[in-house]
Amino acid sequence: MTVESVRPGAGATTPARELREPPLAGGGLPLLGHGWRLLRDPLAFMAQLRDHGDVVRLRLGPKTVYAVTTPALTGALALDPDYEIDGPLWESLEGLLGKEGVATANGPRHRRQRRTIQPAFRLDAIPAYGPVMEEEAHALVERWRTGATVDCTSESFRIAVRVAARCLLRGQYMDERAERLCVALATVFRGMYRRMVVPLGPLYRLPLPANREFNRALADLHLLVDEIVAERRASGQRPDDLLTALLAAKDENGEPIGEQEIHDQVVAILTPGSETVASTIMWLLQVLAEHPEHADKVRDEVESVTGSRPVAFDDVRKLGHTNNVVTEAMRLRPAVWILTRRAVTDTALGGYRIPAGADLVYSPYAIQRDARSYANNLEFDPDRWLPERVRDVPKYAMSPFSVGNRKCPSDHFSMAQLTLITAAVATAFRLEQVPGSNDTTRVGITLRPHRLLLRPVPR
Ligand code: HEM
């Protein structure tokens, strides 16, 4: 099936009586439905759903959720204005991270907010961030030269937060803040995931230790953002960056946007910006340790471009293989492994009836590992992204940044820093896991290794 055959709006022209109800996925329990399987082994659960149909119904407690399982239909879903950002994931996100940021807004407010943030992420804006990305990548390599065991969770968060904050908010954020953000985000995202798959609102208001820890982390996250905004205002400076654009933004009536929107916008940039990049860096480090032959190939490529000088931002576009290593790591371990939408009207997808208000869910993880889309689907093979082979990949079978009007604004920004960090680390060290390291997948709002501990051995 092509995306064209399920083009946006196709549902509206299909006579309602010809539409089918999607099949119910197997394995549900009375009352709990499929929620227990999503909690117990969500990746395996999502990965087998395509065997039941292109669209299947899931029961999460009292709710029915529609899971979309083919690349073509996930592309159609992401591109179709009949679906908006909403549903269990976004409800819990809004309640916690704010209702007025770009990641949760819809309609005219969302379009206006995208216009405000987009210039900071345009392809031609990225080279200005090069010196910071370079500096942070080389600082990381220098820190690791002692040969001490590297705790990849805190190191990955540290560099992700520092790059995002220094490039986009121009803050001189010290490690203490990156550390606070790391702790707060880890707790908040874990709690949000639980609230999404087991949507039992009152349970989360009880004064239980887990709820208290969650509330503390959330309060600190908001406090941090207030500190960042207050610091900029107090400085009286207006550098050409995203924070200045946010502080100067006007609403639909030409009035300055409110304090709450400014706050929510900074949250909406910092939270996805650090968790996703940090998780991806952890997987890249895991890949370099697990596949020394690919690490060597990256090192060879970098040296063929740089000779003996340190890798620079300007080299990134010449590092084709390194870029393919990053892409392949993101295929097998996409940081954003689950996405949701809500139907704003009675509509259709792939010949199935989707009622107004229905929640839909799909998993880039399941899509990007599907044997129907990829030969040797579970094999780590960066060469599948070579120009002569990439044609074999079905449309929308590889969209780790999503597509359509909600596509991640940061795809170029993220790919540049991920490629640079991979190049710098692989050139300087061979990486080995040490006893106590656990690189199995930890599932939360993002995917990351449970606890990756590496020894960097200088080359
Ligand atoms: C949205 C992935 C890095 C900011 C998204 C979405 C995905 C994604 C899949 C779309 C969500 C949806 O369709 O519902 C990633 C990945 C990243 C990454 C895989 C890195 C490896 C970043 C960074 C920033 C960022 C570094 C900012 C500094 C955002 C924002 C949105 C978003 C603001 C919401 C866009 C909107 O709704 O219009 N990201 N992201 N992301 N991302 Fe990223």
pLDDT in tens, 225-283: 998 899 889 988 888 889 999 999 998 888 999 999 999 998 888 888 888 999 999 99
Give, for 57, the enclosing helix (H) or strand (E): strand 55-60
Running DSSP on this structure, what letter comes out for residue 446?
A: B
Over range 339-357, report the average pLDDT: 95
Structure tokens that stand for 313 in this block: 């931002």
Is pLDDT larger for residue 179 or for residue 274? 274
Contact (CB, 8 A) for 241 and 120:
yes
- Tell which atom from ligand 1 comes closest to the C-alpha of 413: 26
| Number of separate domains in the chain | 1
Residue 267 and residue 226: Cα distance in Å, rounded? Answer: 10
Q: Output the residue whose Cα is nearest ligand 1's atom 33.
A: 269
Between the CA of 274 and the centroid of ligand 1 the distance, in Å, is 10
Average pLDDT for 303-328: 97
- Check pLDDT > 50 for residue 8: no
Q: Which residue, judged by its Cα, is nearest atom 27 of ligand 1?
A: 273
Out of 225, 408, 448, give the residue to mutate to test ligand 1, the one with the largest number of ligand atoms within 8 Å of its CB.
408
Q: Which helix (H) or strand (E) holds 84?
A: strand 83-84
CA of 215 to the centre of ligand 1 (A): 24
Q: Which domain holds residue 291?
A: 4-458
Ligand 1: residue of 90, 410, 412 to mutate (most ligand atoms within 8 A of CB) is 410
Bridge partner residues of 430 (DSSP): 457
Residues with CB under 6 A from ligand 1: 85, 102-103, 114, 164, 168, 268-269, 272-273, 276-277, 280, 335-336, 339, 400-402, 406, 408-410, 413-414
CA of 335 to the centre of ligand 1 (A): 10
Distance (Å, whole) CA 459 – CA 457: 6
Give the pLDDT score at 89.
Answer: 64
21 Cα–ligand 1 center, Å: 32
Q: Give SS3 for 141.
A: helix
Can you tell me the distance from the alpha carbon of 192 to that of 54, in angstroms, rounded to the nearest whole number?
Answer: 28
Length of the chain: 459
Q: What is the pLDDT of residues 209-226, one digit of tens each?
A: 989 999 999 999 999 899
Concatenating the DSSP letter of every residue in 172-187 gives ---HHHHHHHHHHHHH
Kindly report, residue by residue over 378-394, the tens digit of the pLDDT. Answer: 999 999 999 999 999 99
Q: Which of left, alpha, beta for 357 (phi over 0: left; psi -120 to 50: alpha)?
A: left
Cα 436 to middle of ligand 1, angstroms: 32
Q: Write the CATH number for 195.
A: 1.10.630.10
Instruction: Return the structure tokens found at 114.
Output: 């995208």
Question: How far apart are the C-alpha atoms of 91 and 294, rounded to whole Å?
Answer: 41
Nearest CA to ligand 1 atom 21: 277
Amino acid at 422: T
- pLDDT of residue 186 exceeding 80, the answer is no
How far, in Å, from the CA of 141 to the mean position of ligand 1? 27
Over range 343-368, report the average pLDDT.
96
